[in-house]
Structures are given as C-alpha cells and as structure tokens.
Amino acid sequence: MSVYPIHNQDSQASYKKLIRPSLLSILGLVISACTNIVPSATNAQIQPVPIAPKVALVLGGGGAKGFAHVGVIKALEESGITPTLVVGTSVGSLVGSLYASGYTPQQLEQLALTTLDSELTDFVLSNQGFIEGIKLRNFINAKVGGRTIEDFPISFAAIAAEKDTLQKIVFTTGDAGLAVQASCSVPNIFIAPRIPEKVGKKYVDGGVVSLVPVDSARDLGADIIIAVDVTVPTSSKKNMTSNLLPAITSLSSFWGLLENNLTSNIASNNISSNTTYSGTNHRSSMRNERGRADIVITPDVGHISSLDTSQRSALITAGTQATTPQINAIKKLIREKSNSKYVTL
C-alpha cells in the first residue's frame, strides 16, 4: 500500500481551486457561443419546403371499355406518376380497388387478360335481377387478400347509389368486395346488395348518379384530379346502338352486361319506381362533373369490343395511347401545385 505525504494532498487542493474559475469561464463562453448560433439555426428552419399535392385518379364506369383503365394506370406508373387516391365507379371501382390494394400494372394486365366471365357472373332467377353479385364480391376480396378498404396502401373510394332515393354514396371503409359489388350493380340486371348485409339499404351502380366521380375525389381532398372517361362514343355506329339491349351473344358476358345495360337504364329512366328522374338533365350534369377534372383522359375505345382476349388487349393499349400525350401536362401540374403548397419546419 502506498502512502502519500500530506503536502501532496495540499498541493492537489490548491490546484483544484486554481482550475475551478477557469472551467466556469469556459462554460460561460460556450453558453454565449450557443446563444449567438440560435438565430442562424432558426433562420434555416423557417425555409419553406414544398409539399407533394394529393393526386387522385378517377376511373369512370363503362363496363367492357373499363379494360382501358389498366392501360391508363400502366402509362402513369411508367412515367413515375402514382396517385395518392383512387376513386372508381362501376368497372372503375373494380379496377381501382385492385390497383389501390397494391397490384402493379403488369399484374393488373395479366388479370384482365386471363379472368373468365364465369369467375364474376352468378346467374339466378329473381324478379330483382338475374346476376346475384356474390361471385364478384368474393373475387375482389380474394384478390385483395381479405383486407378492408382502409388497409389499402393507396386511399380508395367506390361510388354507388342508394336504390330508392338515388343518393350518391361514397364507400371509403369496410368490405372492399361488397363496396365494389354495390358500385357495379347495374339496375334490373344485378340484384342490389344491402349494406350492411341483410339489414342495410340497397345500393346500385354508381354510374347512375356519377359516371366519372370527379366531385367525390375533390370532396376527399384531391389537389389534382386525373379523370378517365371510357364512354365517349367515337363512331356513328356506336351512337346508334348505345341505347339498345345487348345482343344475344353478349348475354353471358359480365363486361357486356355492365357496358350495355347501364346505358340502357339511364336512357330509359328505368332506375327506380319511387324516384322522379330526368335522363337528359342527368347526362348533362355528369358531363359537367367530368369537366371539373384537371386532366381528362378519353381512350378511343368506342369501336372496340372485349368479347375475346385480343380485344381486351386492344382496350388496354388504347388506354396507354390516350394517356401518354398527357404525361407532360400532368407532371407540370404536379410541379405547379407542389410549388404553391409549403410547410415551414
């Protein structure tokens, strides 16, 4: 054991007394320096940072022509444009729900080309319609892994109409398959589902009240709306036949039923016996709604059928071809909206 002389301890005490004031002085200098730095840091923090705008992709109804929606999505994604919100009516809700749930454009295209009508159509004998719609509901729920709408990576909304009042309904939560079933339930063809099941109100195809649901997307907070309308006729032949019942050859086609009978019901006002309805005024109103979008994409699909796989491919291509020329305008709009929205850190 070492023993230190007493005078060494005294020397150490004296040394501590000498350095204590020096430490206090240094601490004071540090505090002063930090105080002087604060204004510079504050100035850096208040620099505005642009916020990405909320971009909505609105997919309209149109039955068989809805395969073009896949081509639109494909062109947007290839250009680095991914919406933060997808809103769909009828077939637009079908394609939109799959896309919002995480399907890539390639997966959507493969599904579009390989899905059989029999996977979606369940015929029944009923005075309410002759397609039950359960197969469609189960198909969607299986493809999205049983997730509810609120669990999708991209926000999603399906548009339907309350059967008796024709009040527009926007489904943003709950059973994805049931919401799509309601949105696709063409009056007098599909049996209108109840939401909640068995005890709720009955709902029919959203195309009856909002064929291209631009206003719903705006109500959900969209800053930029890209709307897709696949119902614009492109030939006189299409104009002459658009209000006729489907041909016998398409009665077994899920897509053909969606396409032809929705137009027939709107034109004939054959929606609800309890509702006064003006078809002409309503069609005008829906055209005006479409016009409120920032970008409107109208694939040239009036002359194309989807009764075979090759035609489905042509519809997808038409969607891509209609979107590509709009890409620069969309990107410019996104930049402009980003520059007009800032957050202060």
Q: Which residues are catalytic?
A: 90, 205
Query: What is the C-alpha separation between 314 and 100, in angstroms, rounded?
Result: 23
How many whole angstroms separate alpha carbon 52 and alpha carbon 251?
46
Assign 345 to helix, strand or coil. Answer: coil
Q: Distance (Å, rounded) from C-alpha 23 to C-alpha 30?
A: 11
What single letter denotes the amino acid at residue 68? A
Residue 50, C-beta contacts closer than 8 angstroms, at least 6 positions apart? 338, 339, 341, 342
CA-angle at 185, arms to 179 and 190, nearest 5°: 135
Task: Give residues with Cβ within 8 angstroms of 184, minimum separation 6.
Answer: 90, 91, 93, 94, 133, 136, 190, 205, 258
* DSSP string covering 166-228: --EEEE-SSBHHHHHHHHT--TTTBPPPEESTTTSEEEEEGGGT-SS-HHHHHHTT-SEEEEE
